[in-house]
């Protein structure tokens, strides 16, 4: 397989296209706020709608099953949107696309907030999910690799708070809205519309035209079809658990089909000569560990949040009060973001990610007693959970990202967010079903389901540590300047299972042997195609 050099990082000061530039085009903090406004609204809603779903359904005419399916399809659209954005950025001008994504998000938000009928609400929610996934790839990678190295720590903190802090804040907002009255969800959705409008305005004020990443690359319709069908089937199956048993045709068949298609996508990208996402290049130790941490942290944490909320409501706790019990989760996420920022340039990034998974497992152990225990359990458990999520997923993204040249950040983020979203938003409904159907009481069922979450987090941590041992890997400082040059990784990742494959290992962390990120498979072209 011939080596193909990745394209240069996006240049904010040069383009062969329009010469129009927004007067905030050179403002880093304006670009950072744009990312926050683009991602936070939908991600907050993703952990809010569960608390207000019944009220929304009564207002727009959606039953419990239809509401569950709407949320599932919206989450599927988010996951697929990241992959579609990656493909479009190859052939079209990224900044112009971002303007269109933000404008479409506003339209979708208006439809959802105004929605006099169920059809408009469903359309609005799916548009919100799809355009957030699109904006993730159009807005975040330029913030990561388009600015000087001194800004990267701030970017890491912004991403951590913008993505995972938003998820942690969702239960608090959901509880407050649910406790405010029957129709309080509409002001929340109008507030989301306002944030989306702010993001759209910033896309204009920070506008700097960019050339396509690789306009001569082939399209990848096969990858897009597998991603779309796989996510759609998986989320459809998990959503149908609201009214069907796990072993029913309406649940099990689409779940198995969807997961099979996602696996087929990963295999197809691994073997493709010019892949849309660099699966083969990510098949060494550090990026595999990062992907495992992100997937298991997402799957276990989202399920724990939903199970804890359900257990509290089942005990008759006021929805508004339920929201207040999750404030420590947001505080924990803030602390994790700060710690990640402090240690971002050090060799401890991998240790932070693994410790985050351990914290999620610890939080799950505490919250297994939520069905019969006091509110103190929720305070302690939610705080530890928020810290664990913030300390695991964002560092995991950068562990994978640092293992390839920085020009590959869009593909890496798209792949990981696709897999993380599928794990997080499909496992939670399955475990919620387990909580309702296993055990003699709802409290016992909830405890069993949360123990499964603990097992997922613990298994992820064990596998990650075991892979480090098999690779004889030692933590070392990332070379940020080398990485941002666009031609080299920040550190060289050892081959998988190097110790038992008889491959040499450099004690200083530079592993130039088959399978390492430096010498192994060729570097990917951003969205090259099939």
Residue 116's domain comprises 24-217
Kindly state whether residues 174 and 310 are assigned to the same domain: no
How wide is the angle at C-alpha 419 spanned by C-alphas 162 and 78, nearest 5°?
A: 55
pLDDT in tens, 36-84: 999 999 988 888 887 788 889 999 999 999 999 999 999 999 999 999 9
Kindly state whether residues 400 and 285 are assigned to the same domain: yes
Mean pLDDT computed over every residue of the chain: 86
Is the per-residue pLDDT at 474 higher than 80?
no
Is the per-residue pLDDT at 257 higher than 50?
yes
Selection from 48-62, 132-146, 491-505 with the highest mean pLDDT: 132-146
3-state secondary structure of 208: strand
Kindly state whether residues 311 and 422 are assigned to the same domain: yes
- Tell whether 265 is covered by a domain: no
**Biggest alpha carbon–alpha carbon distance for the chain:** 68
Is the per-residue pLDDT at 215 higher than 90?
no
Taking alpha carbons only, the member of 6, 411, 441, 14 closest to residue 223 is: 411
Kindly state whether residues 188 and 328 are assigned to the same domain: no
Kindly state whether residues 379 and 494 are assigned to the same domain: yes
- Distances from the Cα of 343 to the Cα of 149, 226, 339, 391, angstroms: 15, 38, 6, 11
- Tell whether 76 is covered by a domain: yes
Taking alpha carbons only, the member of 493, 487, 490, 499 closest to residue 517 is: 493
- Tell whether 16 is covered by a domain: no
230 neighbors 258 (Cβ within 8 angstroms) = yes
Is the per-residue pLDDT at 228 higher than 70?
yes
At which residue do the structure tokens 């005990």 appear? Answer: 315
Kindly state whether residues 198 and 285 are assigned to the same domain: no
Looking at residue 7, its pLDDT comes to 43
410 neighbors 145 (Cβ within 8 angstroms) = no
Query: Residues 499-520: what's their mean pLDDT?
Result: 50
- Tell whether 238 is covered by a domain: no
Kindly state whether residues 208 and 285 are assigned to the same domain: no
Neighbours of 204 (CB within 10 A): 13
Q: Per-residue confidence at 2, pLDDT binned at 50, 70, 90? A: very low
- Tell whether 427 is covered by a domain: yes
Name residue 208's beta-bridge partners: 21
Alpha-carbon radius of gyration of the chain: 22
Q: Per-residue confidence at 489, pLDDT binned at 50, 70, 90? A: very high
Residue that terminates a domain, selected from 201, 217, 233: 217
Query: Residues 182-198: what's their mean pLDDT?
Result: 92
Residue that terminates a domain, selected from 194, 217, 240: 217
- Tell whether 509 is covered by a domain: yes
Kindly state whether residues 173 and 321 are assigned to the same domain: no
Is the per-residue pLDDT at 144 higher than 60?
yes
C-alpha torsion sign, points 211, 214, 220, 223:
negative
Looking at residue 3, its pLDDT comes to 36
- Tell whether 409 is covered by a domain: yes
Number of domains observed in the structure of the chain: 2
At which residue do the structure tokens 């399978």 appear? Answer: 515
pLDDT in tens, 269-281: 999 988 999 999 9
- Tell whether 256 is covered by a domain: no
Kindly state whether residues 205 and 322 are assigned to the same domain: no
Kindly state whether residues 210 and 285 are assigned to the same domain: no
The full DSSP string for 413-450 is HHHHHHHHHHHHHHHHHHHHHHHHHSSSSHHHHHHHHH
Residue that terminates a domain, selected from 165, 196, 217: 217
Residue 483 is part of a domain; what is its CATH number? 1.20.1250.20
Looking at residue 512, its pLDDT comes to 39
Kindly state whether residues 189 and 325 are assigned to the same domain: no
pTM for the whole structure: 0.89
Kindly state whether residues 297 and 189 are assigned to the same domain: no
């Amino acid at each position: 397989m011939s080596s193909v050099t990745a394209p240069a990082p996006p240049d904010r000061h040069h383009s062969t296209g329009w010469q129009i530039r927004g007067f905030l085009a050179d403002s880093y903090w304006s670009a950072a706020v744009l990312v926050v406004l683009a991602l936070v609204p939908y991600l907050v809603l993703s952990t809010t709608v569960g608390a207000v779903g019944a009220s929304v359904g009564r207002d727009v005419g959606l039953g419990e099953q239809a509401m569950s399916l709407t949320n599932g399809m919206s989450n599927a659209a988010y996951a697929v949107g990241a992959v579609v954005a990656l493909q479009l950025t190859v052939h079209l001008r990224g900044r112009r696309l971002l303007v269109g994504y933000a404008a479409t998000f506003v339209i979708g938000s208006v439809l959802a907030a105004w929605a006099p009928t169920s059809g408009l609400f469903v359309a609005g929610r799916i548009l919100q999910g799809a355009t957030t996934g699109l904006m993730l790839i159009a807005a975040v990678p330029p913030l990561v690799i388009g600015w000087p190295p001194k800004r990267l720590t701030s970017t890491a903190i912004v991403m951590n708070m913008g993505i995972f802090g938003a998820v942690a804040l969702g239960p608090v907002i959901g509880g407050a809205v649910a406790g405010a009255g029957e129709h309080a969800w509409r002001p929340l959705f109008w507030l989301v519309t306002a944030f989306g409008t702010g993001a759209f305005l910033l896309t204009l004020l920070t506008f700097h035209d960019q050339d396509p990443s690789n306009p001569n690359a082939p399209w990848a319709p096969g990858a897009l079809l597998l991603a779309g069908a796989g996510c759609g089937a998986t989320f459809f199956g998990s959503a149908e658990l609201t009214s069907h048993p796990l072993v029913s045709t309406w649940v099990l068949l689409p779940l198995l089909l969807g997961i099979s298609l996602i696996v087929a996508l990963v295999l197809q990208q691994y073997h493709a000569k010019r892949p849309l996402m660099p699966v083969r290049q990510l098949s060494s130790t550090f990026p595999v560990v990062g992907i495992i941490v992100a997937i298991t942290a997402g799957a276990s944490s989202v399920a724990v949040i939903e199970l804890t909320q359900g257990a509290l409501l089942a005990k008759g706790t006021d929805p508004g009060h339920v929201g207040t019990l999750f404030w420590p989760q947001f505080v924990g996420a803030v602390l994790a973001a700060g710690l990640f920022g402090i240690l971002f340039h050090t060799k401890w990034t991998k240790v932070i990610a693994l410790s985050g998974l351990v914290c999620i497992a610890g939080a799950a152990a505490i919250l297994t007693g939520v069905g019969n225990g006091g509110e103190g359990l929720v305070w302690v458990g939610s705080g530890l959970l928020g810290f664990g999520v913030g300390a695991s997923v964002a560092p995991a993204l950068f562990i994978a990202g640092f293992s390839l040249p920085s020009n590959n950040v869009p593909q890496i983020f798209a792949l990981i967010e696709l897999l993380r979203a599928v794990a997080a938003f499909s496992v939670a409904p399955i475990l919620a079903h387990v909580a309702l159907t296993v055990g003699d009481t709802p409290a016992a069922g909830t405890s069993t389901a949360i123990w499964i979450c603990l097992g997922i987090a613990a298994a992820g941590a064990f596998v990650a540590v075991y892979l480090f041992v098999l690779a004889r890997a030692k933590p070392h400082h990332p070379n940020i300047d080398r990485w941002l040059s666009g031609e080299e990784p920040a550190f060289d990742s050892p081959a998988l299972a190097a110790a038992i494959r008889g491959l040499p290992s450099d004690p200083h962390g530079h592993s130039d042997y088959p399978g390492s990120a430096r010498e192994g498979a060729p570097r990917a072209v951003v969205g090259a195609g099939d």
